[in-house]
Amino acid sequence: MIPRLPTDFLFAAGSFFERERGVPLDFHDEEIIRNAGIQFATADELAERLWAALEEGLSEDCRSTAYWALGKRCRKEAKGKWVAALKIEVRRSASAVYQIMIALDNIGESVFSPDRSGYSMNEEAQNLADAEQYLAANVGISDAHES
């Protein structure tokens, strides 16, 4: 059986990382963080836990949501991890690929074709083509650890 992380935990992690970046959270988001029991964690500890869970193997929906949460961190030093994840997911999950591409875009990577006026998870063929093109142009990026 493929492991799952509770969806509430993953959404809490996303809110936690937004708060780390200075995004004001409402009462509901703060409550989700408290209910997940992560209010006293550090962002680095939480990110390491999510990356480890991804490496150990999660169900497809959990992987996509975990990438979504980690993408809220917007850490350029995680580029190597994002590229490594993209290399894996491009053959497995269009929804995970989209979340990884958004994360890369949020750290300034030109992962989407400049000919596109917008991006959607529903544009699977375009997203996969853009991901393949990005990977072809970025071969050799190390899988550096996020700090």
Do residues 44 and 20 touch, judged by C-beta distance below 8 A? no
Crossing angle for the helix pair 27-36 and 7-20, nearest 10 degrees? 120
* Number of other CB atoms surrounding residue 10 within 10 Å: 24
38: its two tokens: 């992560």
Closest residue by Cα to residue 78 from 63, 67, 64: 67
The rounded distance, in Å, linking the Cα atoms of 146 and 82 is 10
pTM across the whole model: 0.89
Which pair of structure tokens corresponds to residue 106? Answer: 């949020």
Quick one: average pLDDT of 3-30? Answer: 90
> Residue 1: its pLDDT value, please?
39
Tell me the pLDDT tens digit for each residue of 34-92. Answer: 999 998 999 999 999 999 999 998 888 899 999 999 999 999 999 999 999 999 999 99
Domain ranges for the chain, please list them.
Answer: 1-65, 74-147
**Dihedrals phi, psi of 27, to nearest 5 degrees:** -60, -40
